Amino acid sequence: MSHNDDKVLVVLGTRPEAIKLAGIIRELGPNGAVVHTGQHYDENMWDRVLGDLAGVKVTDHIGIGGRSRGEQIGLATQELTRYLLQHPCRAVVVQGDTNSTLAGGLAASATGTPLVHVEAGLRSHDRAMPEEVNRILVDQIADLCCTPLSANSFQLRREGVEDERILVTGNTLLDAMGALLPSEQERAALLSELDLVDGQYVLSTVHRAGTVDDEQRLTRLVEALAALAEQTTVVIPMHPHTAKNIETWGLGDKLGKVRTIEPLPPKSFIGLEAGAALLVSDSGGVQEEACLFRRPLLVVRDSTERPELLETDESGFPWCRLLGDLDPVTEMTRAWADALVWREALAERALPYPEHSASAAIVAEIERRWPHHHHAH
């Protein structure tokens, strides 16, 4: 049995988690171990993520990709439990709301390892979303819930989470942005390579099961994006799962003038976000990134776990709009018509997130609660 009990285990399985945890992994340095569950199973996608996240080394890898939700959670819980029994750790850190997040939480609980949940207390109040169920469960079993905003802490208290388990830390995305923001030269090269003009294109991503596994919904979105592509350039970095469903349901022809490209590494994707006139996405992380870059966003979902971003200021514009059950063609057309004025309104607005390093605050709190023990040799 290896003596690993001085390490803090970071569990992740998807791109957004890797980006949100990169700062924490860097802060932990040699005191951290990283296990990747393989939830995003596209090798190409994953290798390119790690290339951009300097200092993030994966210690171990489990392959749960391409399975159903229940199988992913079960298999990852089993493997992570086995890992923790072989390599006891001081604490386990999970982030957000994926199946990997829940599996890491269950494995920590099963082995009596302190559990830290980064980005706790987010709620869409929509239990039909598997992500909502994952979040609620992990917050209930976490020993430390790190919330981005005090509103998230308030939500946890309403659910009976004790004060001593809650800490407002801010948003770890801000730490990652420093490492991931491409230089102006890199961004210019990327735009010319993709034949795009800065500030004159729409960037769209759709990957959530609730969006892409529903044939009718995916069809309506594809048709709406095609209609928008008649007015302006629309680019979609195509997630492997989305591509598969578009092919299965024969929607390829309906894309019209929409430009589909391969999934991009984080740095390139962020570079494209920063220069888009409008974003259309069902991603949670994109909601925050759009906010940081002050770019208008239409969230193509029924609900959001970040309601603070829907609040309007005196300009009448929110950080992002929620599609809900409105007509996608109408709403995308309206968002595009508003994009310029909307962007000007956002340029003036104060960010909802605190500016300090959330990653440093989280690691400091882990060290305070579960300190590093030096073994006598």
Binned at pLDDT 50, 70 and 90, residue 91 comes out as very high
Predicted structure pTM score: 0.88
% of the chain exceeding 70 in pLDDT: 94
pLDDT of residue 41: 61
Every domain of the chain and the residues it spans: 8-171+355-369, 183-347
129-156 confidence digits (pLDDT tens): 999 999 999 999 999 999 999 999 999 9
Q: Residue 19's pLDDT is what?
A: 87
Fold of the CATH domain 183-347? Rossmann fold (3.40.50)
Mean pLDDT of 200-219: 94
Q: What backbone phi and psi angles, to 5 degrees, belong to 146?
A: -95, 110
**Is the predicted pLDDT of residue 113 greater than 70, yes or no?**
yes
Residue 127 burial (10 A CB sphere; 0-12, 13-18, 19+): exposed
Q: Is 1 helix (H, G, I), strand (E, B) or coil?
A: coil
pLDDT band at 303 (very low <50, low <70, confident <90, very high): very high
Residues 168-193: what's their mean pLDDT?
Answer: 91
**64-68, 192-196, 267-271: least confident range:** 64-68
Per-residue tokens: 205: 């991503």
What confidence category does residue 376 fall into, taking pLDDT thresholds of 50, 70 and 90? Answer: very low
Confidence at residue 267, expressed as pLDDT on a 0 to 100 scale:
87
Instruction: Please state, rounded to an integer, the average pLDDT across all residues of the chain.
Output: 92
Beta sheet of 115-118, edge-to-edge order = 60-61, 32-36, 8-12, 91-95, 115-118, 144-147, 166-168
Binned at pLDDT 50, 70 and 90, residue 230 comes out as: very high
pLDDT of 118 reads: 98
273 pairs with which residues across the strands?
A: none
Looking at residue 58, what is its pLDDT? 77
Confidence of residue 75 (pLDDT cuts 50, 70, 90): very high
8-171+355-369 and 183-347: identical CATH topology: yes
Tell me the pairing of strands 320-322 and 297-299: parallel
Band (240; pLDDT cuts 50, 70, 90) = confident
Closest alpha carbon to 125 in 157, 159, 153 = 159
- 8-171+355-369 carries CATH number 3.40.250.10: no
DSSP assignment of 150-186, as one string?
HHHHHHHHHTT--GGGEEE---THHHHHHHHPPPHHH
Active site residues: 207
The average pLDDT across 91-103 equals 97
Residue-level pLDDT at 205 = 96
What pLDDT score does 1 carry? 42
User: Angle, to 10 degrees, between the axis of helix 284-293 and the axis of helix 15-28?
Assistant: 70
pLDDT mean over 90-110: 97
